[in-house]
Amino acid sequence: MPVAFNRVILLVLDSVGIGAMPDSLAYGDDPGADTLGNCAMLRPLRLPNLCRLGLANIRPFAHLEAAAAPQASFGRFTLASPGKDTTTGHWEMAGILLDQPFPLYPAGFPPEIMDEFSRLTGRGWLGNKPASGTEIIKELGVEHMRTGRLIVYTSADSVFQIAAHEDIVPIDEQYRICEIARALLTGPHEVGRVIARPFTGEPGAFTRTSNRHDYAVAPPQGMLLDRLAEARVPAISVGKIADVFLSRGITAGYKTRSNADGMDKTLQAMREHPGGLIWINLVDFDMLFGHRNDPEGYSLALEEVDAWLPEFKAALQPRDLVIITADHGCDPVTPSTDHTREYVPLLAFGPRVKAGLNLGTRRSLADAGQTIAANFGLKLASGASFLSEIA
């Protein structure tokens, strides 16, 4: 059966939620969490290209005008799985629905975990609390260098993060330590990711290096990337997609340092890979601005992506399908620095994609994965395809 689109580009604007889901308060969200909506309330956002696609047709936003003739079909995804983190959202896009959320540690990891971690690694630890990675190395970096103890911290995600200076703990040892932690964190403590967070520099001028490495939980078999691999459909990762899925089914990957680098690498991937799936994550919204309660930084990042969209669209092939969405929210305006449980946008467009259709509120982010699977003649266990509506 011929494919409708030769290539699908799935662009994830990490944490760009568009309004609280009905159960958001049960997940500890502040009332009124609304990542894009609250940013738009603070000042007019310059998002002409996203608005031409139909962003403001999904729902009203302050100072953003709905398009009279949207260039995309539009709607919103519901997060069907319990949770509001990176792994949950991306797994759901790939057709995996969770029965229970990954564990979170707002008070740090329990003594039985930390004691065993110290025994197995032969090093003590510092921190063991939720923290910004840059802030905790400022706080504990000197003590780490003096004692050799590992800086352990978590976040609003289900993560066990280990920061160490590359001159104190060589990078190979840092990776070995993360493998130890990954093997330790099982059962009720099976966090979504263990992350090596190496840094260098002198006190007062520590900087994180590009040697970050994620050790994710292995996703269940049969998800989107597995099905594509079985059918020999190329799957290209830009950003942290490969880490989230342990590179399973990924045929080529592009690591990124920032949103700007991610946009450049996206164009490179488009030049080098004319078919299959290109799956992109632009992480700065979440990592740099959402968790740090920086709405102006968040808004500027949105505007930078919007300004890049004409170049992106000019690089599209005649039979490309683009889906823009997000994995969860991270409202920089509310007091909490945690992720927020929000609906996420759905914009589907391309030279031969039907425009102006209201695709409504989808029951699951898995609809994205099922649509991609259907395009290549495949089927996932979860999700309802909207391919026939837009092709």
Structure token pair of residue 68? 């009279």
> Within 13 A of 32's CA, how many CA atoms are on the CB side?
7
pLDDT at position 63 is 96
CATH no. for 111-216: 3.30.70.1250
> Domain extents for the chain?
7-101+217-390, 111-216
Helix 259-272 vs helix 295-314: angle between axes, to the nearest 10 degrees?
Answer: 20
Closest CA to 338 of 286, 281, 301: 286
Q: Which amino acid is at 309?
A: L
Percent of the chain with pLDDT over 90: 93
Mean predicted lDDT score pLDDT of the chain = 96
What CA–CA distance (Å, rounded) separates 242 from 248? 7
- Total number of residues shown for the chain: 391
- Above 70 in pLDDT, residue 85? yes
Q: Look up residue 326 and give its two tokens.
A: 């997000």
> Residue 328 above 80 pLDDT?
yes
Determine the straight-line distance between the first and last CA of the chain, rounded to whole angstroms: 14
3-state secondary structure of 192: coil
Amino acid at the residue 213: H
The model's confidence at residue 157, banded by pLDDT at 50, 70 and 90, is: confident
How many Cβ atoms from other residues are within 10 Å of residue 273's Cβ? 17
- pTM (2 decimals)? 0.91
Mean pLDDT within 129-151: 95
CA nearest neighbour of 20 among 70, 59, 69: 59
Topology (CATH) of 7-101+217-390: Alkaline Phosphatase, subunit A (3.40.720)
- CA-to-CA distance for 330 and 33, rounded, in angstroms? 8
* pLDDT surpasses 90 at 48: yes
- For 342-377, the pLDDT digits (tens) are 999 999 999 999 999 999 999 999 999 999 999 999
Summarised one tens digit per residue, pLDDT across range 283-312 is 999 989 998 999 999 999 999 999 999 999
Q: Is 70 exceeded by the pLDDT of residue 96?
A: yes
Query: Rounded to whole angstroms, how far apart are CA atoms 354 and 371?
Result: 14
Alpha-carbon distance of 87 to 81, in angstroms, equals 11
pLDDT, residue 81, reads 97
Helix axes of 171-184 and 111-121: crossing angle, nearest 10 degrees: 140
Question: Residue 174 has what pLDDT?
Answer: 98
Q: How confident is the model at residue 264 (pLDDT cuts 50, 70, 90)?
A: very high
The per-residue DSSP string of 294-333 comes to -HHHHHHHHHHHHHHHHHHHHT--TTEEEEEE-SSB--SS
* Residue 228 parent element (H or E): helix 224-230
CA triple 253-85-169, angle to 5 deg:
60
Q: How far is CA 10 from the centre of its chain?
A: 12
How crowded is residue 391: how many other Cβ atoms within 10 Å of its Cβ? 17
Pairing type for strands 73-77 and 358-362 reads parallel
Element (H, E) at 16: none
Q: Which of 58-72, 162-176, 207-221 has the lowest mean pLDDT?
A: 207-221
The dihedral sign for the CA sequence 369, 375, 379, 385: positive
pLDDT grade, residue 1 (50/70/90)?
A: low
> Confidence band (pLDDT; 50, 70, 90) for 167?
very high
Distance CA 68, CA 334 (A): 32
Give the whole-angstrom CA distance, residue 155 versus residue 172: 24
Nearest to residue 330, comparing CAs of 284, 365, 285?
A: 285
259's tokens: 């949103």
Question: For residue 166, what are its two tokens?
Answer: 């590359």
- Mean pLDDT across the stretch 249-255? 97
